[in-house]
Amino acid sequence: MGYTPMIEQYLKIKAEYKDSFLFFRLGDFYEMFFEDAVKAAQELEITLTKKNAGKDEKIPMCGVPHHSAENYIKVLIEKGYKVAICEQVEDPKTAKGVVKREVVQVITPGTVIEGAMLKEQENNYLAAVTLLEDSLYGFSYADMSTGEIFAMEIENSWQAVLSEVYNRPIREIVIDENLSDSEINDLKIRMQLTVSLPAEYSKFPEDMNHLLDNVNQSHLLPICQQLLMYLFHTQKRAFNHLKKVQVIQLKQYMNLDMYSKRNLEITHSMMRNEKFGSLLWVLDKTITAMGARKMKKWLERPLLRRDHIENRLEIVTGFYNQFMERENIRESLRLVYDLERLCGRVSFGNVNGRDLLQLKKSLQQIPQIKEGLEIFDNTAIHQLAQRVIVIPDLLELLESSIAENPPISINEGNLLKDGYNQSLDQYRHISRNGKSWIAELEQKEKEQTGIKSLKIGFNKVFGYYIEVTRANLHLIPTDRYERKQTLANAERYITNELKEKEELILEAEEKSVGLEYELFVALREEIKNFIPQLQNLADILSEIDVLQSFATVSEENNYVRPNFSSDGQTVLKESRHPVIEKVMSGDTFVPNDVALDNQQFMLLITGPNMSGKSTYMRQLALTIVMAQVGCFVPAKEATLAIFDQIFTRIGAADDLVSGQSTFMVEMLEANNALQNATSNSLILLDEIGRGTSTYDGMALAQAIMEYIHHQIHAKTLFSTHYHELTTLDQELHGMKNIHVKAEEVDGKVVFLHQIREGAADESYGIHVAQLAGLPSHLISRAKIILDEFELKSKEVSNTNELPSNCKEEQISFFSEEIEPKNKQTPKQLNELVELLYSMNVLDMTPMEAMNHLYTLQKKAKGLKGRS
């Protein structure tokens, strides 16, 4: 015996959506069967049951209620799964045999549009990537909820693709056969993306061709089409809100690779991977969700064109100078909702009455915002005001239609105002007057029967009824009352008069709800015509929001407007780290100066750990990013070159996912800078070489500095503990030594966090360990070992100063001084010498060298004790 017809239908549909959970509609539930049921029960923590399916064995089954399915879908989507929604597409009452069912939508991590599944202040991108030719990739990404689509060529390497993926909030990526297994593995494991195959299609739909109008590079067309067809295939409908593809020329923006974005904590902190502690956290004083998303985009792509940067700065200056007018704009923006995503919901057909009420309230603020901008004494802000469009026709339509307090559901009525439609008004009149008549009838029956407790009620099973308690049954007029239902303590009756009114009222209510739904759908379709205008309005409002945010933050934190040089000069007076300064709150951040130009473009920074070397390096980079997105900067004065790229090697971390050690990550990040930096780039290298042995590390660090100095000429900050490198300023004329000042007071180190010229004279490593709370006896032991190291170093230094013909005498003198007093000593001395000869000093790390030296010392003390 085979499966039942319904299970056969399920299996047929499931075969087309093997990579998705199939939510199969059965009445008021979505059911899942077989492996879907087993896995869904585990992931959703719901009960797994079994169902008779026509064969001898029972099949696994689980289900979720239709009315709460969104919550369960959200859990699966957040875990990277896809969900295919299979609905009943014919009325079960009229169906012959199994009810017809079809998949009406596939919800995937990259195609989510439902508000509850989205982060309000972040985009949610679906991407597509393909290899066009050697080291040239086509890349496109779109946000279904806002309608934005972007495309670009990515040159150089696969690493550049990964950086682009890392720098965007991408949840899912569509790939093709041109990618290698290792590249696909990077996307799945390193980037933690849901990887999908492209949708099959024979011809690209003509009604979507207009979306490709801006794509002039013919080889980018296939990747854009691949992305759009995947959207069409999963969502099963056309989209009115999708904007034309914007082709991004990456060379028009500063390049921040994945390492730099992570190390500089532009949008997320490294420790917690959250907004708190990032540059975005400091700068984000936006009011609207669409403004917050735009700020994040701007921080991810700082500008390179000076005129564009200056235009933003001029607007920020205008907002900065007029506090009260800026506050009025902020107050108006508080009543503006997320127009971008409202457009998406209108287009998608899932907008409700409350969404349209938000749209109406938002549009009511636009004239006030436009007038508020025109008040400013700033030409750039006046130009901004001209771009703000008022949409009176749409506002009038919404004000005449949407009720002041509509329900969430669009199937319950009360969505539209009285007076919007004549037929609807008539039904409502009957319904409302009918209810008034019911109240009047109840009062009349009380008076006629003398039953004060008599009441008229309603339920969906029996309709309207007259309820009388048992104590009053003897007062019932049996000639008019017909018993309908018996209760424990009462009886329910109907009368002919009540039945007539009931039919009239219920018919009016039913027709009222049905007509109102039809009118609302028609209204929604009419609003679709305004989507392009609404999207333009959303774009300018989000821009205003970001720029006022820059001004607000700049005033609160005492930032200054930067100037830009054309000769490569970068000079900061009393520069500060924007994030640390805010975290410190009441404490005073110690500012420092920075001076770089085309002649002196490399700073070698020495100083103890925790003194502020990395902070100094990061604050320069963050200041440059802030300036090139159009914000004021944390300094007393600022003159900056415009940088095309920022490369960083700051901090040490293993890349465990790809199996790379700290040192390998360090070398990869350094190599990325060396291969791609130009003379207009900024390179920050923090303690390069510390992941390997001392001499290896020192050799690499010097070679890297020389390569940057001779070959690249990029502005470079290089911090190190290798004090031997400080002599390079005699050979590298573009290099200058600076150090972070620290002092020893009563045996304890005091960090002054002040940058001074010249090299540091001491590292204070043991003092830092003491501050970290290491045991006191360990600190004391370390000081003894340090003294011994320094003594040995002096002895070796003195020895090296002797003439070459004296060195052999020094060795023989040492052997004569240790005169053996017993026969065992020469043997042990030979073992000590053999051990010393066997050591490969050049390959040791400092810690290994210390351990070996300690072992040798113990053996030497043993020999001395026997002598």
The owner of tokens 């009452």 is 93
Burial 198-209 (b: 16+ CB within 10 A, else e): beeeeebeeebe
Which residues are within 8 A (CB) of 277 and not within 5 positions of it... i.e. 6 or more apart? 265, 269, 271, 579, 583
Q: Within 206-288, where are the H helices?
A: 221-235, 258-264, 279-283
**Burial track 699-736 (b if 16+ CB lie within 10 A, e otherwise):** ebbbebbeebbeebbbbbbbbbbbeebbebbeebebbb
Say how many CA atoms lie within 13 Å of 424 toward its Cβ.
Answer: 18
Mark residue 766 as left, alpha or beta (left: phi above 0; alpha: psi -120 to 50; beta: remaining): alpha
Return the CA Rg of the chain: 38
Give the pairing of strands 21-26 and 83-88: parallel
196 is in an annotated binding site: no
Where are the extended beta strands (E) located within 175-245? 194-196
CA atoms within 13 A on the CB side of 114: 16
DSSP state of 655: B
Judge whether 54 is annotated as a binding position. no
Buried b (16+ CB within 10 A) or exposed e, 501-517: bbeebeebbebbbebbb
What is the rounded distance in angstroms from the CA atom of residue 220 to the CA atom of residue 545? 33
| Cβ within 8 Å of residue 345, ≥6 positions away | 113, 115, 351, 355
The residue among 62, 464, 141 whose CA lies nearest residue 300 is: 141
Residues whose CB falls within 8 Å of the CB of residue 676, separated by 6 or more in sequence, listed in order = 156, 255, 645, 647
Q: 77: which 2 tokens?
A: 């989507």
Is 607 known to sit in a ligand binding site? yes
Distance CA 779, CA 766 (A): 7
The answer on whether 610 is annotated among ligand-binding residues is: yes
Distance of CA 228 to the CA centre of its chain: 23
CA distances to 652, 708, 773 from 768, in Å: 18, 31, 9
Q: Which tokens sit at 151? A: 């495309």
Q: Which two tokens stand for residue 385?
A: 């005001």
**Hunting for tokens 């969906």 — which residue is that?**
460
Q: Tokens for 327?
A: 């506050």
Q: What is the DSSP letter of 630?
A: T
Q: Is 651 annotated as a binding residue?
A: no
Check the annotation: does 664 bind a ligand.
no
Q: Is 421 annotated as a binding residue?
A: no
Chain-centroid distance, C-alpha 474: 73
* Proportion of the chain in helix, strand, coil states, percent, rounded to 5: 50, 20, 30
Is residue 609 a known part of a binding site? yes
* 612 SS3 class: coil
User: Phi-psi region for residue 758, left (φ > 0), alpha (ψ -120 to 50) or beta?
Assistant: left
User: DSSP state, 696?
Assistant: H
| Distant-in-sequence, close-in-space partners of 216: CB < 8 Å, separation ≥ 6 | 247
- Which residues are annotated binding-site positions? 607-614
- Which residues are annotated binding-site positions for ATP? 607-614
